[in-house]
A and B are shown apart, each in its own frame.
Chain A
Amino acid sequence: MKKLFTIVLLIAFALLANMSLVSADMHGWWADAAAPYAGTTIRGVSESTPPSNYVADVLAAQFTELTGINVEFETTSWDQMYSKAINDMEANTGIYDFVYIEQDIIYSYLAQDYLVNLTQFAADNPDLAYEGYDESAFTSFADYFKNADGDLFGVPMEAFVKVYLYRKDLFEDADIMAAFEEEYGYPLAPAESFDQYADNAAFFTAYGESMDMDLWGTTVQGSTGHPASTYEFLETIGPSFGLYNWGINLDAGSAQSANGGALDGDTAVEALTFWLSMLPFAPPEATSSTWDEVASSFAAGRAAQGWVYGENAAWIATDESRSAVTGNVGVRLPVTAEGVIDAAAMGDGYIGYYDGGAFGVPHSSRNKEATLLWLQFIGQESVQAEWAAAGARITHTATFDDPLIAEQDTKVDGYYTLLEEQGPLFAGAPPFPFHAQVREVIDPFIQRAILGELSAAEALSQAAVAVDEELERLGYGM
């Protein structure tokens, strides 16, 4: 009897010890795996956005404590980030051990073979593969960072879609609703068609003027000194009319409709015409607005509805220190032309842009092993929820079900649910190996169309010709 008791006790002890061993094991795994690299410093470059600030301030410190590997962050502006990362990787200097890869530049990087195949690298170094890190736990967004074989080249760290935001306090105000219905003959509601969008925009602009309020009917990301305007047209407005992949036919190597492209086609002209017609209903800063000023204008209550990047939705809806419209933000899918949503659901096209970024390891890095550990650390399930709450970004399927996010979701009018359920309707940038080059070529034409120097049709037909010339020069032409 006594013996049995002892055995039970022993087993219990063993179990207990084992349990504590498990957590020590977790701890120990990082320390053991990182032992050869303790004391090294890895360096990355990123823009100073809330998600990457969270990585720099919180996750990097945790990682260093666990492994003894130091993580240094260079934060810089968006324009600078690319040129610095590209310079480094092209010259093979090895300044950065990990770089921020915005979704739209990934294909250019892959085409130049700048990045380490993370799946392959982890398989080749089983000692470094952390079991709590699982590539299949990512949302479908991670697919944009994979090659044809399904190997991953970047660990997603932020993801969002560009949504339609509207001011609930205005759209649900009884007097305003009555006035709208009287004028237009149908009830005021968040826009579901372009005509309705235009009516809303015209109505609220007139309303703002009559009430002497700083209020306009829509946002337009129409900066004439920044690529942001081209992006809004090609990534949001174009697709919602059915203009996909910038109207460039990669097989034909052309953007002109005569050669199989679509940039100067009827759909594109229709889309640009509509977008330009929204300018008079946008606040006066629209023509100087990049994505960040659009978000600021909306947060300041200067627009009744608009297209705003989802990464901003959370702070606009909740952060009182920065936004004057907290609690009044409605979130919907962006307006689309008839049939576009159905086509997208069938996998035929998309309704807008699924944006975001990942961290990848350049071949030029001299600390690939340590960096792999770091990327697995930020890619593991357990750190996701708090990071998501702090940075309004979701990269793991499971994060959607986290209580923290569920709570946040109600405050942001279901943005996260929208991201989870309708996310697949959106798509990343077209798989071009020449992203920035061709966009630079299109920019001036879109800008001149905004200024009214060119009509929509002129701008797009000239842009298509210029794109073809650049494709030719780059060796992707006809």
Chain B
Amino acid sequence: MRQRVWRFLLTYGFWVFMTALTLIPIWWMFVVSMRSRVELFSRPNLAISRFFVENYTNVLTDSTFQRYMTNSIVVSTCNAALVMALALLATYALSRYKLAGRDNIFFWLITNRMAPPAAFLLPLFIMFTRSFRIGDWTLFDTQLGLILLYCVFNLPFAIWLLKGVVDGIPIELDDAAMIDGAGLAGVLRHVVIPLAAPGLAVTGILSWVFAWNEYLFAANLTSVEARTITTGLAEFVTVTGTNWGELAAMSMITLIPSAIIVIVAQRYIVMGLTFGAVKE
């Protein structure tokens, strides 16, 4: 009995401690978002003295901010959907078909995520503004451009994650479905997708979060129309005084959608992240 009490206290003590460590930085951001500019430089105080909501109202009522928000939502969601679809097809191909140099293709796919971004911005910029040009339309400063570009970073990760999952689905199930008269689409729809659902969900979520959070490419490959929320954050850093209050408020707002997704999809994340390491 005594041991159980100890264990109970230890478990909760540990978790409360970890939770505090996790939350203090976020809490501090919230505190900052509740301060006016003069109050910021007073001695640090982790408590909130008053609710100064002007930072939030300033940000939320700004039409530019609303446009950024819409762009971010559209880009992240479309990118996640696209990545899920393409990655499923690709992993199915890699898993089921005899393709020459399969392992090398797989590894090459992954190396795409390793490139240091800065130097690649220049060719991408030229490509976005010149190569993809139809009349006056260019890929630069469009949601489509970002949606496609983020695939370069999300697809390798997604394929890797799904590869194990699809490998884990016995090929006999495919065969059984085919004997029942299902075509490739049928196999994917009735066999692979249901069984790979947690993996697919986690792929989608992580892709979504990556696209939502990406900064460097969004900042350089958009101008006015397709700017995303993270690039908006950097606009508060100016010569005449970084507006920390509004920056913090905006960060808090940015956090909300991803937090909601995590809470809702928590269960799938753990189920899907096995990288097919252990075959069931």
Contacts and interface: CB of A to CB of B under 8 A. Distances in A.
A binds B: yes
Interface of A: 43, 45, 47-50, 72-78, 80, 83-84, 87, 91, 93, 95-96, 214, 291-293, 295-297, 299-302, 309, 311-312, 315, 320-324
Contacts of B125: 87, 91
A125 B129 CA distance: 30
Contact of B126 (A73, A91, A320): A91
B237 interface: yes
Given A91-B129, A214-B43, A322-B37, A47 B224 contact: no
B224 A50 contact: no
B247 to A, nearest CB: 11
B223 interface: yes
B120 interface: no
Interface string B129-143: 110000000101100
B240 A43 contact: no
A82 to B, nearest CB: 12
Contacts of A84: 220, 223
Contact of B122 (A87, A297, A312): A87
Contacts of B224: 43, 72-74
Interface in B236-268: 236-242
B41 A77 contact: no
B239 A95 contact: no
Contact of B238 (A72, A78, A83, A324): A78
Given A76-B235, A80-B234, A84-B220, A321 B240 contact: no
Contacts of B179: none
12 contacts: A73-B224, A74-B223, A76-B235, A77-B238, A83-B220, A93-B138, A93-B140, A95-B223, A292-B238, A292-B242, A296-B40, A297-B41
Given A93-B130, A312-B240, A300 B235 contact: no
Contact of A291 (B138, B223, B239): B239
B239 A47 contact: yes
B240 A50 contact: yes
Nearest to A52: B238
Q: Which of A43, A93, A291, A323 has the most CB of B within 10 A?
A: A93
Contact of A324 (B38, B122, B231, B234): B38
Contacts of A75: 235
A378 B99 CA distance: 64
B81 interface: no
A292 B241 contact: yes
B38 A321 contact: yes
Main secondary structure of the interface of A (DSSP, over half): mixed
Contacts of A50: 240
Contacts, number: 91
A452 to B, nearest CB: 27
Nearest to A296: B241
A311 B240 contact: yes
Contact of A91 (B130, B141, B223, B237): B130
B112 interface: no
Nearest to B219: A80
A73 B125 CA distance: 20
Nearest to B242: A292
A76 B219 contact: yes
Interface in B29-56: 36-38, 40-41, 43
Contacts of A214: 43
Contacts of B141: 95
B113 to A, nearest CB: 23
A95 B140 contact: yes
A77 B240 contact: no
A216 to B, nearest CB: 13
B130 to A, nearest CB: 7
Nearest to B136: A366
B241 A322 contact: yes
Contacts of B219: 76, 80
A84 B36 CA distance: 32
Contact of A77 (B38, B227, B234, B241): B234
A206 B156 CA distance: 59
A320 B38 contact: yes
Nearest to B241: A292
Given A93-B140, A311-B240, A322-B38, A76 B234 contact: yes
Given A78-B237, A312-B241, 16 more contacts: A49-B240, A50-B240, A77-B234, A78-B238, A91-B130, A93-B130, A292-B240, A293-B242, A296-B41, A296-B242, A299-B41, A300-B38, A300-B40, A311-B239, A321-B36, A322-B38
Contacts of A96: 223
Contacts of B237: 77-78, 292
Given A296-B41, A321-B38, A77 B129 contact: no
Contact of A47 (B40, B129, B231, B238): B238
A47 B237 CA distance: 9
Contact of B41 (A72, A291, A302, A311): A302
A315 B122 contact: no
B235 A77 contact: yes
Contact of B223 (A43, A320, A321): A43
Interface in B201-234: 219-220, 223-224, 227, 231, 234
B129 A93 contact: yes
A300 B41 contact: yes
B223 A292 contact: no
Contacts of A47: 238-239
Contacts of A83: 220
Contact of A321 (B37, B129, B130, B140): B37
A312 B242 CA distance: 12
B62 to A, nearest CB: 11
A15 to B, nearest CB: 46
A213 B239 CA distance: 27
A74 B224 CA distance: 6
A446 to B, nearest CB: 19
Contacts of B38: 300, 320-324
Contacts of B36: 321
B234 A295 contact: no
Contacts of A45: 223
A295 B240 contact: yes
B102 to A, nearest CB: 39
Nearest 10 Cβ contacts at the A-B interface: A300-B41, A93-B129, A322-B37, A77-B234, A292-B241, A77-B237, A74-B223, A74-B224, A49-B240, A72-B224
A214 B130 CA distance: 55
